[in-house]
Structure 1
Amino acid sequence: MTEWQQRPLDRVYPVVFIDAINVKVRDGQVTNRPIYVAIGVTLAGERDILGLWAGDGGEGAKFWLSVLTEVKNRGVQDVCILVCDGLRGLPDAIAAVWEQTVVQTCIIHLIRNTFRYASRADWDRMSKDLRPVYTAPSDAAAEARFDDFAEVWGTKYPAIVRLWRNAWSEFIPFLAYDVEIRRVICSTNAIESLNARYRRAVRARGHFPTEQAAIKCLYLATRALDPTGRGRARWAARWKPALNAFAITFEGRITH
């Protein structure tokens, strides 16, 4: 496991997703602890799981600086877009390690968090009203569409309006990209299939004696993923239009 966690990585990743899965660790008493996973999309369009790190839920810039510095020291010189779900301290750490990297709020998580505040009876209509915001052709158009959304839903669900306003500066970079790049950022297949595998592995164990035992469990689940490589090949076949869009948008940076 140590060898895998310290292995050399690619020089450039067009996109890196950082996500978390909560595990139960028995440390005197059973508590929830986040294990963070970084998933890179390679220049070949393949999913590359860069590593696993244990946190305590109160991570700040210092924690993320150590994680990202470790990733950089393993050979990663550039990341075009890093997608995360509002992790405190992460944007500051990214700026210190890869100053050109764009921090992008995970659109899927933002939409899911929206529905947590809404009655299920309103989900369909709210989804229809929200779609013009994240499919808008520009940030000005998105702001106008969100004003329309807030006018309809703001009185009933003020927390949803606040959620989007607070995430707005990390949301709007998404709107400047070609549709092919938007699809990569919004594609949850690679992340969701990994998380589903992780959740099954964690449920089978219940709780863990130590953080290291939890990481080892997730490591074994990681190594068991897609043993034939067919899933990666299918995903890579849809990658070429996105790679062309990345090469144009991030000119001079998409190199082996």
Structure 2
Amino acid sequence: MVSVVNDYGTTANGSSLIDQIVREGARRMLAAALEAEVDAYIAELADRRGENGRRLVVRNGYHQPRKVTTAAGAVEMKAPRVNDKRVDAETGERRRFSSAILPSWCRKSPKISEVLPLLYLHGLSSGDFVPALEQILSSAAGLSPARGHAPDPAVAGRPRRLHGPRPVRGRLRRHPPQRPPGGGQSLRLVLVGVRADGSKELVALKDGYRQSGESWADLLRGCGRRGMRAPVLAVGDGALGFWKALAEVFPEIREQRCWIHKPANVLDSMPKSAQPGAKKATQDIYNAEGKQHAEAAIKTFAQLYGAKFPKAVKKITDDQEQLLAFYDLFAEHCIHLRTTNPIESTFSTVRLRTKVTRGAGSRTAALAMVFKFVDSAQQRWRAVNAPHLVALVRAGARFERGHLAERPEAHAA
């Protein structure tokens, strides 16, 4: 067949000549493989004959043409048909030939089936199409640097041993709202930690119910069984279930309230006219130079708004110790310890997808999807500042004004 090709390497109908050649070659090779498979099947059963002496397994033309989507594009195929007259002695039904190369239900190659979930996982909202396209192109050449591959859920989803110290930040996340049998709302409990080398990683992910302390306790006990020692500091919002479970499983751990959620709760207790000034006052607290300056900023906040908005001020003063715990560690780590942003930013892509798909379909599918998102995102998480100082935090070093305090000579000896 002769085709007219323009200067851009495309034919008159707009398709690329190289793509046409590849598809035609794929079609011919697939047709030859199917013919060889049928011939081998018939030859193997050539001695099977009926009462009239005729063969029980013979060729019977071709099936209706169908299109099969492959990495080379859509290829139209006519699979050979086999007439198998043998009867299964156990079921009494006739045996049927089923192609191992092109089953009757197959409309796309396994490679395409693998790519579609990756496109949903990476590309629809985050713009990261490289891991999916690399499955088709067999290489990341010509694409932006690949950000990593989604792991095999059968392997990556299994609980693993946790070795080494991890100051932990925990965050309760609802994704997506599901009504499980028996009532209650299903939640995804996520725990992210910091390793001794300063890198962040997903520590645990579990399905739970509402803000259940027992669900969080079960997750934390599971981390302990897998080898995780008691963290130095836990960061989270005001979820009562998380803090209750933490005090039960790791009573020696210090608590840090999230400075993203706390100001939001404070401002919700105030009229809109007072919110701009109150927001600036709360920022002065967690952006203070040191813990003493932060305590002074809290006193100023109470003086300014205590008379008119006592409930809003009470939200700050009642949790003052937990809100300022990050000041007792290295100043370089403060920016990482005062919020739960690593988990919040990861779940922003989850929300974008569930808005489009109107939910994840089932609790199992939701948990698998969340694991994929977090596992993929953690490859891009930035390590904490001054990672070499994390080991000192784990060792129980004492800090003053964000710096390491020298030990008294009596203890040093």
TM surpasses 0.5: yes
Indicate how the Cα distance of structure 1 residues 5 and 203 shifts in structure 2: closer, same or farther if over 3 A, else same: farther
Q: Deviations over 1:87-128 (max 9, x none)?
A: 224334334433432121112221222233334444432222
Q: Is the 8 A contact 2:256 2:322 kept in 1?
A: yes
Q: Is the 8 A contact 1:26 1:207 kept in 2?
A: no
* Other-structure match for 1:52: 205
User: Which secondary structure does the structure 2 equivalent of 1:12 belong to?
Assistant: coil
Are 1:37 and 2:193 matched, yes or no? no
Aligned length: 244
User: Which secondary structure does the structure 1 equivalent of 2:240 belong to?
Assistant: coil
Indicate how the Cα distance of structure 1 residues 83 and 187 shifts in structure 2: closer, same or farther if over 3 A, else same: closer
- Structure-2 separation of matches of 1:33 and 1:133: 35
Are 1:16 and 2:160 matched, yes or no? no
Q: Aligned-pair distance for 1:137?
A: 5.4
CA RMSD of aligned residues (A): 3.0
Q: Which amino acid aligns with 1:21?
A: R
Are 1:220 and 2:365 matched, yes or no? no
* Other-structure match for 2:232: 80
Indicate how the Cα distance of structure 1 residues 189 and 63 shifts in structure 2: closer, same or farther if over 3 A, else same: closer
Are 1:91 and 2:235 matched, yes or no? no
Larger radius of gyration: 2
Are 1:152 and 2:152 matched, yes or no? no
- Structure-2 separation of matches of 1:83 and 1:240: 17
Q: Structure 1: state its 5+ residue gaps.
A: none
Kindly indicate which of the two structures has a greater share of residues assigned to strand: 1
Are 1:105 and 2:257 matched, yes or no? yes
Q: Aligned-pair distance for 1:54?
A: 2.4
- Structure-1 separation of matches of 2:245 and 2:211: 15
User: Which secondary structure does the structure 2 equivalent of 1:104 belong to?
Assistant: strand
Please, which moves more after superposition, 174-183 or 186-195? 186-195
- Structure-2 separation of matches of 1:195 and 1:152: 36
User: Which secondary structure does the structure 2 equivalent of 1:25 belong to?
Assistant: coil
Q: Which has the higher contact order (CA 8 A, sep 6+)?
A: 1
Q: Aligned-pair distance for 1:73?
A: 1.3
* Other-structure match for 2:126: none
Indicate how the Cα distance of structure 1 residues 98 and 11 shifts in structure 2: closer, same or farther if over 3 A, else same: farther
Are 1:126 and 2:270 matched, yes or no? no
- Structure-1 separation of matches of 2:285 and 2:186: 34
Please, which moves more after superposition, 128-137 or 144-153? 128-137
* Aligned partner of 1:163 among 315, 319, 333: 315
Please, which moves more after superposition, 100-109 or 9-18? 9-18
The percentage of aligned residue pairs carrying the same residue is: 22
- Structure-2 separation of matches of 1:121 and 1:139: 29
Matches within 5 A, 1:233-252: 235-236=382-383, 239-244=384-389, 246-251=390-395
Indicate how the Cα distance of structure 1 residues 59 and 189 shifts in structure 2: closer, same or farther if over 3 A, else same: closer
* Other-structure match for 1:173: 325
* Other-structure match for 2:63: none
Q: TM (normalized to structure 2)?
A: 0.52
Are 1:71 and 2:215 matched, yes or no? no
Q: Which amino acid aligns with 1:148?
A: T
Indicate how the Cα distance of structure 1 residues 176 and 199 shifts in structure 2: closer, same or farther if over 3 A, else same: same
User: Which secondary structure does the structure 2 equivalent of 1:8 belong to?
Assistant: coil
Q: Aligned-pair distance for 1:38?
A: 0.9
Q: Structure 2: state its 5+ residue gaps.
A: 1-152, 398-413
Q: Is the 8 A contact 2:164 2:196 kept in 1?
A: no
* Other-structure match for 1:199: 351
Q: Which amino acid aligns with 1:102?
A: R
- Structure-2 separation of matches of 1:33 and 1:91: 19
- Structure-2 separation of matches of 1:27 and 1:91: 24
- Structure-2 separation of matches of 1:67 and 1:206: 28
Q: Deviations over 1:121-158 (max 9, x none)?
A: 44432222223322445655434322221221233433
Q: Is the 8 A contact 1:68 1:94 kept in 2?
A: yes
- Structure-2 separation of matches of 1:89 and 1:220: 25
- Structure-2 separation of matches of 1:165 and 1:67: 30
Indicate how the Cα distance of structure 1 residues 23 and 115 shifts in structure 2: closer, same or farther if over 3 A, else same: same
Q: Which amino acid aligns with 1:197?
A: T
Kindly indicate which of the two structures has a greater share of residues assigned to helix: 1
- Structure-1 separation of matches of 2:300 and 2:345: 35
Indicate how the Cα distance of structure 1 residues 34 and 116 shifts in structure 2: closer, same or farther if over 3 A, else same: farther
Indicate how the Cα distance of structure 1 residues 188 and 38 shifts in structure 2: closer, same or farther if over 3 A, else same: closer
Q: Which amino acid aligns with 2:395?
A: E
- Structure-1 separation of matches of 2:163 and 2:275: 41
Q: TM (normalized to structure 1)?
A: 0.79
